[in-house]
Structure 1
Amino acid sequence: MEMNSKGNTNDGFEDYKDEDPKTPASKLPPVARPKQLTAEERREKFHILKNIIIISTAFFLLFSSFQSMANLQSSINPGSGTIALAVLYAALVVSCAFIPTLLIKKLTVKWTMALCVLGYSSYIAAQFYPRHFTLIPTAIILGLGAAPMWSSKCTYLTQVGKRYGEIVGENSEVIITRFFGLFFLFFQSSQVIGNLISSTVLSQGESPRRTEEQLQLCGVNFCPHHNLSSGNVTTIDPPEQSKIYTMASIYLVLSLLASVIIASFVDPLTRFVDETKDASSTGKSGLQLLVATFNHMRHPFQLLIIPLTIWSGVEQGYIGADYTAAYVSCGLGVHMVGYTMICFGVCDAICSISFTPLVKIVGRLPVFTLAAILNAAAIIIMFTWRPTPDNLAMFFIVPALWGTADAVWQTQINALYGVIFPGESEAAFSNYRLWESIGYIINYATHSSLCNTDKLFIVVGFLVIGMIGYYIVELIDRMNWLPKNERGIAKPIDKICS
């Protein structure tokens, strides 16, 4: 919603108040009224809203399956599963630079979404025979398709949002924000349903009891290369193959259904706008965007914020791969991973909504600091806590703290990029995607080779360095120490002294 001059919300129309009842009506400013829509405009408005709901539902089904399966990789496919996830994000980095604009121009926005969703289905299908030669190729397919899928989704929501604003006579930026808010309401909810499916399926039958020898190797003592055996002790008991097949079958159906829904029920973007000029917000080719991305790294703020952006990927990878394996699967059993990640997802979703108004009240810096403190508290717990079934609540406290902090990183780092890089959004957010993906790659690539103690030190290192860089950005920004050009844009680091 926009703010009027008195600080009240409005929908794009000014409220006028007759301060003097004796003022002739002819001299009063005209009162804005809601736009009267024609029958054709009402139908178009309905179809736009219908498409937003359909796309949001399709992504809800898709990520209910993918995110939940990814959370289990370190437990059910130790080694090959996390290596495949690292390869996935490496492919995503390459895809971001070259594929989205080209594919959208060739296939159109709708069919790019429908096709790229199938890349996720291929990865889930590989879970029926999880080996390096099945997981890694399908992870590459998924990674290459993920960037154009997200770009086409963003293009669709942005363009129909602009058209919707024209129809109803409201500010298009407000409408686009509402549409993205609705989409992410569905998206965040996928953590709950997908993890509920996995835990329900894996909990069927009798779950193996954890022995004292097994529990000694959990938590801070956990080493993934001991997953298969440590002497005669198995640190993680893999679920029965039949349960994995059942779970993978459900997820595969959901992901295929997502593609079918988009292909069958989403209207082409050309029904509402001219699609040919909207594949890229600035019209840059993949190579031009790549050059702009690397040129943007000359910005002092970008250099300082890189560690915090990498941290965003590292912390998401850690909670989904390392915490689930070292604490939950090892301490309770694989069947409990979904339940703990539901707690993470619910806290993340609720706080994502709550922190935006909180930033408006107290400012950005206290909220970032709070998130760092919450992560630090969770890390201290993981260093000192020995996971056993007797302290069940602790298994949920850590993901609750982590999910609350993650809500800050996911919403406010995005917002920070928009604030400190005005007029440079495409290159700035390309850097954001690049460095966050590198954070994922670092975490997943080291999962199988490092013990949990080492991983926790890496996590701490990125958190500390990232926050130092962020505090320096805030200090420079508030003191206005950074030289700027005539357009008010900060000078590149190699131009500051010239």
Structure 2
Amino acid sequence: QLDDFVGANPDYNEEEEEQKYFRRKRLSVIKNVVGASLAGTLTYSVYLGLLQMQLILHYDETYREVKYSNIPLEDIDHKVLMGINVTPVAALLYTPILIRFFGTKWAMYLAIGIYALFVSSNYWERYYTLVPSAVAIGMVIVPLWASMGTYITRPMEEIDMRSIGWGNIFQLPFKHMRDYRLRHLFPLFIYSGFEVLFVCTGFSLVGSVMGWEVMEQGQVMLSPCSLQNYGVCALGLERLAYLLMAYGFSASACSSLALCMLRLRRHIPLLAGAFIHAVLLVTLFCWAPEPRYLAQAPLLYSIAVLWGTGSALNKTGISILLGMLYKKKERQDFIFTIYHWWQALAIFAVYLWSGLPMKAKLSIMLLTLVVAVGTYLWMEKKVAQNMEIRLPRIPHPRHKTRGYRYLEDNSDETGSDGDGDKEDNDRHPTEATSENELPKEDGEQLG
């Protein structure tokens, strides 16, 4: 009887149970990715829509005089844009700390809470409500996207603050920049920030200079033509939403096909997106839209759709490339932090050039795109030649620790089997060489 109670179950099928386990794990990963994607979509839809509406209303003289006659809304808007666009520059210093201390899930939760704070501050539009909330948003832009990028590439949380240390967390993002693969991708990161901001500023009312236009019926209306924007100047403000929707639907539809791109060589999506954007930039540079001429609508919608396609190829291509180059999950939060920090620098540059003519902006973007493609191809050539990779050594746990937040080394699940004493016998590749260099890893190099 005791053997029947503690013995093996005769109906137990190890292969079937293993398949059930991996099926549940795969379903959990898909559920988390879909949930994070929906959260990011809703958050940025509300945030960007509210920001655009706020800027449009604050430029309306009637709205200012009737509702806020004694408040300098233009100065507040200037400070809000400065807080959103300038503060992300310092994000490289604290983003790894937030992700390592709170974890990816809590970092995303806290960042989205800051966005909710900005939305709620618009119910009482004052300097002391809008500007601090805008500065807070600027501080969490990089942590939000870095934690989301880390979250969807990691199956579980893996954090051990006792082995990493605060000093290493500050140093590791800068030390990773010694890797030539990452350095050659900096122009691509910058252009990735340029092109997203351009589709919003090139087809919307964001800007510091506005003009007045007299209609045929004698009505006076606010006109963005002095900004040389394309969509709103050519079609009118009432069709701004449709242009942005065309861009968004195109980008989301093409991004959903990212898994199909894994069958292609990793440089094809990036080069295809760069080619599409280069053609569109040259087209916009040579074309001057006529104000409020609806016959131009098909061309503008086509540009918005193609720009969304190029953006999707750019973003998914960069994510796939970083995943192939840096397979070790303990490095991914630092890598994604650097990626989004350079995007934040691009946002800051877009804020600085807001007063430039449109042709100057297009020239800067085209030059950045050419440099980005050139440095990327140079990086691929070096990788094909198996050049030595310099990566910093990341400290590993000195003893086995179990639990939800602190897991043992190279473990993807809580309480996985393993012997912590093996660390002395089977040394990690990062410990097999000098402190600042890694050995060549063919799998990591060639992806």
Q: TM-score, normalised by structure 2?
A: 0.63
Structure 1 residue 111 displacement after superposition: 6.0
Amino acid paired to 2:360: D
Matches of 2:145 and 2:314 in 1, distance apart?
19
Mapped to 1, the partners of 2:44 and 2:360 lie a distance apart of 30
Which residue does the alignment assign to 2:210?
none
* Candidates 33, 39, 43, aligned match of 2:16: 33
Find the partner of 1:143 among 138, 163, 170.
Answer: 138
Cα distance change on mapping 1:433 and 1:286 into 2, 3 Å: farther
Separation (CA, whole Å) in 2 of partners of 1:294 and 1:339: 42
Q: Determine the structure 1 residue equivalent to 2:281.
A: 379
The amino acid across from 2:306 in the alignment is L
2:159 aligns to what? 278
The answer to whether 1:65 aligns with 2:46 is yes
State the partner residue of 1:84.
80
Residues 38-437 of structure 1: matches in 2 within 5 Å? 57-70=38-51, 81=77, 84-85=80-81, 87-98=83-94, 101-102=97-98, 105=101, 113-127=108-122, 135-149=130-144, 161-162=155-156, 278=159, 284=164, 287-325=167-205, 326-361=229-264, 363-383=265-285, 384-387=287-290, 388-421=293-326, 423=328, 424-437=331-344
Q: 1:489 offset after TM fit, Å? A: 6.0
- 2:274 and 2:150 map into 1 onto residues whose CA distance is 33
Task: For residue 406 of structure 1, report the CA deviation from its aligned partner.
Answer: 0.5
Aligned residue in 2 for 1:5:
none
Which amino acid is the alignment partner of residue 344 of structure 2? S
Shift of 1:436: 1.4
Name the CA distance, whole Å, in 2 between partners of 1:345 and 1:360.
25
The match for 1:477 among 366, 380, 383 is 383
2:371 alignment counterpart: 465
Tell me the residue number matched to 1:255: none
Q: 1:455 to 1:155 in 2, by over 3 A?
A: closer
Unaligned runs of 5+ in 2: 1-12, 60-73, 206-228, 391-436, 443-447
Tell me the alpha carbon deviations over residues 345-391 of structure 1, each in whole angstroms, 9 at most, x when there is no partner: 11111111324423523x23333222112112211222214143221
Amino acid at match of 1:392: A
Q: Is the 8 A contact 1:293 1:431 kept in 2?
A: yes
Unmatched 5+ stretches in structure 1: 1-29, 163-274, 491-498
Amino acid at match of 2:204: T
Q: Do the aligned partners of residues 283 and 328 (structure 1) sit closer, same or farther apart at CA in structure 2, a change above 3 Å counting?
A: farther
Q: Is the 8 A contact 1:98 1:286 kept in 2?
A: no
- Whether the aligned pair in 2 keeps the contact of 1:126 and 1:138 (CA below 8 Å) is yes
Provide Cα deviations, 1:380-439, integer angstroms capped at 9, x if missing partner: 222214143221112211111111011111111122223334544343322212111111
In structure 1, which of residues 444, 459, 483 is the aligned counterpart of residue 351 of structure 2?
444
**Distance (Å, rounded) in 2 between the aligned partners of 1:371 and 1:417:** 17
SS at match of 1:349: helix
- Residues 422 and 83 from structure 1, CA distance in 2 versus in 1: closer, same or farther, beyond 3 angstroms? farther
Structure 2: how far apart are the matches of 1:354 and 1:72?
Answer: 32
- Equivalents in 1 of 2:372, 2:241: separation in Å? 29
**1:461, distance to aligned residue in structure 2 (A):** 1.4
Amino acid at match of 2:281: I
2:440 pairs with 1:488 = yes
User: What is the DSSP-based 3-state SS (H/G/I as helix, E as strand, rest coil) of the residue aligned with 2:283?
Assistant: helix
Q: What letter corresponds to residue 278 of structure 1 in structure 2? A: I
**Structure 1 residue 123 displacement after superposition:** 2.5
Counterpart for residue 217 of structure 2: none
How many pairs were matched up? 341
Q: Which whole-Å deviations, capped at 9, do the CAs of 1:442-491 have from their partners, x for residues lacking one?
A: 112321x212121111111111111111111122222335577662169x
For the residue of structure 1 that corresponds to 2:337, the secondary structure is helix
Is the Cα–Cα contact under 8 Å of residues 99 and 286 in structure 1 kept in the other structure? no
Going from structure 1 to structure 2, the CA distance change for 1:287 and 1:42 (only over 3 Å counts) comes to same
Task: State how far apart, in whole Å, the 1-side matches of 2:174 and 2:50 are.
Answer: 33
Provide the rounded CA distance (Å) in 2 between the counterparts of 1:378 and 1:433.
Answer: 25
* Residue type at the aligned position of 2:307: W
Q: Provide the residue aligned with 1:195 in structure 2.
A: none
For the residues of structure 2 that align with 1:61 and 1:407, how far apart are their CA atoms? 18
Offset, 1:92: 3.2
* TM-score, with structure 1 as normaliser: 0.57
State how far apart, in whole Å, the 2-side matches of 1:301 and 1:411 are: 18
What is the rounded CA distance, in whole Å, between the counterparts of 2:24 and 2:440 in structure 1? 44
> What is the rounded CA distance, in whole Å, between the counterparts of 1:359 and 1:54 in structure 2?
22
Distance 1:334 1:312, change over 3 A: same
Instruction: State how far apart, in whole Å, the 2-side matches of 1:452 and 1:72 are.
Output: 23
The one-letter amino acid of 2:171's match is: V
Residues 309 and 122 (structure 1), Cα distance of their counterparts in 2 relative to 1, 3 Å cut: same
State the distance in 1 between where 2:308 and 2:279 align: 13
Partner of 2:7: none
Structure 2 counterpart of 1:399, one-letter code:
A
Give the conservation status (yes or no) of the 8 Å contact 1:93–1:437. Answer: yes
Q: CA, structure 1 residues 446+359, in 2 after alignment: closer, same or farther (shift >3 Å)?
A: same
